[in-house]
Structure 1
Amino acid sequence: MSAKKAKRSPNKPKTRKEIRKEQRKTKKIRRLEYYTNRKKPGQFVRINPQMAAEIYGEDATKTLKESNQGKLKNQVKTKMEAENVRDKEKKQQIKLQKDMNKQRNKQLVEANLEEDRTIRRLEKQLKLNKRKSKSVPASFSRDGLDYLLEVCDPENLKNTALAEQQLVEVNNEFEEDLVLMTENTKNPTDDLLNSSEDEIEDEEDFSESDTAEIPVSKKRKIEEIDEIDRKKSQKNGEESDWGEESFEEEETSEEETPQETNDGTWEDIYGRLRSKDGSVVTTGQNYVPPAARMASESGPEDKIRSQKMERLKRQLKGLINRLAESNMHSITTQIEELYMSNSRNDMNNTITNLVTEALVANILAPERLLMEHILLITILHANVGTEVGAHFLQTIVKLFDEHLKSPNVENKKLDNVIIILAQLYNFKLFDSKLIYEILDTLAENFDEKHVECILHILRNVGFNLRKDNPIALKNLILRLQKRASNASDELKDNSRVKFMLDILLAIKNNNVSKIPNYDTTYSEHLKKIIKGFIRKGNYVTQLNISLEDLLKAEEKGKWWVVGSAWVGNSENKTPEAVKETPNTFSQKLLELATRQRMNTDTRKNIFCVIMSAEDYLDAFEKLLRLSLKNQQEREIIHVILHCCLQEKTYNPYYATLAQKFCEYDRKFQMTIKYSIWDKLKALKDHSAKQISHLAKLLSHLFVEKGLPISTLKVVQFSELDKVTLRFLRQILLGILLHEDLDVCKGVFEKVAYSDKLKMFRESLRLFLHHFLLKNLESQNIGNEKREVLQHRVKIVEKLLIGKEIRL
């Protein structure tokens, strides 16, 4: 054992076993290095020599140290070589970038030179290089490129800089505009009357030679102005000196101009064919008036209109055929949109014809169907305008008059007409006065058909009549009982007459159970849900029209429709309705009228009536009693505007009076619109106080719907000066700061859906952003007013872009 454990002599050669053992250890070391370097490529991992010695022995430790030192030297050398390569590549890249920039600059210079050569060649071809004038060439204007030259004009640049400076000044005056539109105004109507001569400003000249107030443009035509009336007023010496050429029609038209044919004959103004010498050429044909010829010879415009009407009829018919309670809201909304894009007269006629075709037939219309159609008319009457319900009511009353003259028991058209009228009254479209007149008309004849019609009314709205006017119902019952007692024996024994008397007694005693099959559940249900279909702020306006007014509307006119002419009740005229003359007014008032340059009797009368009235209603009635004609009526508006601008402080009396005339007749609305347009053209000639008064008057008219805000569409928003900008801002501040938000929204809703007013809506939006919202941050304004203005501008902006968002 001792011999085996003894150490081997160093000089003794190794055995094969020892050699294989060393080889195995070396192999393990290499394997360890291989797998270690393989897990972390590109890095040299130093193996702990002590650990290697413990595992593999001392000889392996020496070998491992030598291997690690060699690899570390190789790694450092490789790293230095890589850094040198990267530096070299970076330098090459910087050099390449510099060369590319030089090449690009060279190409840009060459492109500019080439562009200059092209411009000179084109100038030579267009002969622009020989122009002496600096005005914009016509070719540029035709192509819409004139703005390019304006940008390069030094004078335009100078004007732009001045305009910017003015806008800065206007922005600084925002707080002043806000105070002007929110300050308390006074109510007395005699401020001018109590002013001394020195206090009154005579800035506007009302002399005969002054035509500043005249709407001279021949394009402005009011529907009510007739050429015949104008000529008559000239003969009678009643023509106003506001301007002889105002609203003047063309003296000749194409139809009145004689046109010579190929054979030398020509047609005179009476439609007669004449030869060259002027003698009448006789033909075998009869004379056809020009109006009849125009009606028979339909041109391309007539065809286009007929196609448009046919398309409109198809659209409305499709909507009305699908009408039901479930889709009532969507159908009314679509019909209202059609009202925005079509003529109201065409819409009223088409809807009325379609509804009457659907309901007025030889058989009784289903009760549910009839009520839903009447509900549609009622909603349109509230949302679109009273002329919708008035037109439908007038048509139904005409049908009633036609069928009443030829009663037929088997034909149910008159029954349907009566039920339609009863349901119109049930939905509060007109007052009980009309339905009582219809009952009186039916009671006068009192035959079997008329008794049946009376039964329809009593069964549908008998208890409503008892509630609205019980005295009239009592008188009706007495008349019907008297007529029944005096009737023939055959009619007395008629079951309908007996049934009618039983229903009358039940209604008189308020006994619902006595009326068989009496059920108003669906009717009451529709009357409840109608509030959800009517827009907020609107309501069903009850028309107080008599039967005679509706039947004689073609002769006397329609006083219930705004803008329609009406001759009035001639039998009710009294001697008190006479013209007031200047002699009836005080001397002080006449002197004031003279100082204000009221240099005609008409103007003096108007001025004195306005200044001496107790209130605006008194002034309105007295001005109507002046019985002015045609052009003289327009002077009412001119005098109102003049007095409003001449006040020392703003007086809302004039705005309220102007609003009353706008509601009374559309011709006054047109007159004030044209007068405002003339004022806008000469806005610089007015003082700041007068501009503020005019802004407050317009704000009142816009809010009260006397005028639409589209009246301001004539303003060029892209070329605003300081005066016009402040004027518009004051108007918008007056509207936005109104106490009722719904009223404020209603002003802008009228222009929110018209395609023709798209540019006007965009201009309003930009104006609100640049000259209202931006000023709120920089000015010393209370937090409450700032929040109100910011909130309402956002609401108005949503209204103005509502249609675009929907599209």
Structure 2
Amino acid sequence: MKKKTPKPTINKSRKQIRKELRKEKKARKHEYYTNRNRGGRYVLNPNRIDEVQENIPTSKKGKQKKIKKVVTSDELHFKSLNKEKREQEKLQEEMRRQRNEQLLSANAEEDRNIKRLEKQLHLNKRKSKSTPKSFIEDGLDYLLEVCDSKNLEAAVAAEQQFSAVNDDFAEDLELMTGKTKKEKKENPVLDDSEESDNNMNEDLSSNEDMDDDDSIEEDDVDVNPMSDEESATTKDDDVDVNAMSDEESATTEDDDVDVNAMSDDESVTTGDHDQDHTDDDEPNQEQEKEGDETWEDIYGRTRGKDGSVLPANENKYVPPAIRAKMEAASSDDKARSEKLKRLQRQLKGLLNRLAESNMHSISSQIEELYMNNSRNDMNDTLTTLLMDSLVTPVLTPERLLLEHILLVAVLHANVGTEVGAHFLQVAVKKYDWLFRQKNSVENKVLDNIVCVIAQLYNYKIVQAQLIYEILHKLSDRFTEVDIECILLVLKSIGFALRKDDPLALKKLILSLQEKANNAESGLRDNARVKFMLDVLLAIKNNNMTKIPNYDTTYSDHLKKLQKTFVHKGSYVTTLNIALEDLLKADEYGKWWVVGSAWTGKTTEAEAKKESAVKTGSFTQKLLDLARAQRMNTDTRRNVFCIVMSAEDYLDAFEQILHLGLKNQQEREIIHVILHCCLQEKVFNPYYALLSQKFCEHDRKFQMTIKFSIWDKLKALQECSLNQLSNLAKLLTHLFLERGLPISTLKIVQFSELDKLSLRFIRQILIGILLCKDEDVCKGVFTNVARSDKLKLFKESLKLFISHFLVSNLRSGAIPDDQKSLLDERAKLVNNILSASDKKIIFK
């Protein structure tokens, strides 16, 4: 056997070996990066597959080993996605299972809480099936109304009622369009002549003046006053009182003034009856004259001074009910007197301990007393105690005076201006009474009260005008006592007066110097007069060193402390009240007190004379008509006669303004106009134009009309259909002319409408929607649509228009032109009211 010859070995140089290694390294790198870009799995280069296969070893039998299948990157990616999806589904299933378990456990916990609360509220022992009391107290009873069969029956009945109301849609349309006028004989109160009704121009709504032929003059008014039986059976005469709000009706008692409205004939018929009463009252007058000279014996008989038994008619029988009221009144008076005595003791104890150190605590305690007691009682008691301690025959120490007036200033700021105003009024009245008395120089009562008023100015409770008026009043009399009072005022607040009003102080100084020069020789050489002139010269030259013992250190210190005693947000309100207003407050009224009446600076005789002059210009026919309409007060009678006798609404407006009515008297104007408008058989545009004129003149008339309309809406059941229609047309005119906003109807509960109120609202909306000018119709609802606070009112209007107006347009009794106009305007109004609800989306 031949031996194999070994292959010759080729010795390679180191350089060739390194070169081959570099080539292999480059090839491996190239294969690596090529496979990575294909998907991550290492794949051999196709050019080297044969080379790799040749190097694969074979088995002994000559069979080739199996080669593992190469998996591509797409298959791996697909498998990974399927695996993630299965895991996600498994996770979601597990989450649903856990969520169901949590819900079941939460329901079980809620059931346990409900049972526990039922046990605590004792609801588990309730046998009746009525609404639980706790639901009613919490306002949740409406939730159970849906489940009640009776409520469902009531809802069905209401739906039937509304369907019956829908049958009156044609009639409401005719009433508002005015094409057919049906004369109704319900409550005939104002029976004006047919000529004035027929001649009244319906185009007055265009703000044109009424012609002389169309006006309501005195001679043209055909009056058929109501008889006594008619006034007893109808309620129309009482409607004028309902037009007032609750607060206004409390201030004007119309029913008690009927005696003033009686004619001479009625007073003659009641003369015999009055005579009988006067005959019976004569013994009572004699008994009052006797006074304490009568006495009662052991048998209850009244005897005179000489012991004779007086007639039995002296002792009138008092019924038990009246006797009980008298005893209750006496017991109330006794309890009130005891309460006032206790209050006086409390305040006196606080004032006795008053000092700078405890000023804050004492003022707080007095404020608490103001909260727990009547302010009138507190003002009277506090003022009486302060006057007793400050106004004495001996000159009050300055420290005591300053601390007490500081307390008044703190209460004036924290409690209210009525505290300082009441104290000021009492002080000025006391000064006026003391000024008229003959006081000696040794008696310092007048000096003290003048110092009190001066310190009120020092603490800014009152302005300088009142101080100058008092100083002028003292200088006019110019006695020794007056000179001393002037000195006290100038020494305490002279420089403050110079700072506030130097011109007025200059006039005062000149007048005092003139008075001193023209005075008698004895008074001219008086030391007080000379000292007063020196003080005046020092104040005029602003030289404080010339005034002996002048020191305002403590006063300035207390004024700085005053800021710490006043609550945050409060301040001392300075009152600018003249001396005459304070002295005649009982006659004129207290205009500086909120809510108090003010009659003006006219005496009672002048007021009666003015009233007689105004009333004398009207005919007896108009006065009888005013009395038939219960225009019992002078204000209502004058306004009624002017309204019924004016040439046109502009003439009536001017005449009413010339009456010079003030405050609550001005409210009577609106009440009279509304009363007359409602009592007309056929709606008269004259009253609508006059009301519109007053609304444009001043906003207070607009508010009065709004309140009166609200009172009418609350009492719609008392109005007849004719009055309902007149009121609807009046409001339609005011809404269209912008005299009133349509939001006046916001107090109407649209969810609780009855038949009358439903027809009333529908008539108003028909009048507005059928307006000739579309822009005017849109303007009525524009302001309402912009308000966010009237969202419920807007939704109610839209629902009402769609349900009670648009749904009735299918009726064949409505003309086609009106049907189309109503449909068009209803859609327009719906778009306006819904405009604010739409949200703007920015893309």
TM-score between both structures, scaled by the size of structure 2: 0.45
Q: Which has the larger radius of gyration?
A: 2
Relative contact order (alpha carbons < 8 A, sep ≥ 6): 1 or 2 greater? 2
